[in-house]
Amino acid sequence: MHIQLQIFIAFFRSGILGFGGGPTTIPLVHKEVVTKFEWMTDEEFSDVISIGNTLPGPVATKMAGYIGYRIGGWLGLATALIATVLPTVVLMIILLGSLNQFNDSKFVNGMTNGVIPIVAVMMGALTWDFMKKAKTSLGIKIAGLIFIVSFVAMVPLNIHPGIVISILLILAFALPVKGEKAS
């Protein structure tokens, strides 16, 4: 199968199934990019998410643009962006046109409320997977400390995730790597 078609399929599938916005597409993109097509490793994908979250704009399009470019050059970038955005644009036009008729429907309200736990499980599974990798690469104490400090900063203190990620990136560059001498 041609690489541009693979890129389109991977990101279209993620775009069409990613109910609820960019963060819900992350596990879907991960499944396509890391598991199905094996274009990246888990570590590389984690780096893309980390950097993508520090930049302004929707994370799904940033990931699609970078991964598409990395896999298929400028044409891959365009293909991935179109595939990511197309489902949303088409569905918004169709659904918003008809949703006003069913605004008070118990079925529509139940459907939207029923998706929330599914999205929570998807994000939880991805978080668990990343924590296992962080435990392996950083050790349980450092990974746990970063998790707790990040959680406290973002939830009770309401610090923007981009700021937390930026601080962690600065620390990663500033602190010596374990086993290396500081110069």
* 36-64 confidence digits (pLDDT tens): 999 999 989 988 988 888 788 888 899 99
How many domains are there within the chain? 1
Q: Which domain holds residue 76?
A: 3-106
Instruction: Report yes or no on 159 lying in a domain.
Output: no
Question: Taking 90 as the threshold, does the pLDDT of residue 155 lie above it?
Answer: yes
Gap between the Cα atoms of 124 and 170, Å rounded: 26
| Tens-place pLDDT, residues 113-131 | 787 888 888 888 888 888 8
Please check the confidence at residue 102 and state whether its pLDDT lies above 80: no
In a domain, residue 155? The reply is no
Distances (CA, A) of 86 to 8, 65, 66, 97: 10, 14, 17, 17
How does the average pLDDT of the chain come out, rounded? 85
pTM of the model: 0.60
State the Cα–Cα distance between residues 138 and 132, nearest whole angstrom: 10
19 falls within a domain: yes
pLDDT at 67: 96
Q: Does residue 183 carry a pLDDT above 70?
A: no
C-alpha count within 13 angstroms, C-beta hemisphere, residue 118:
12
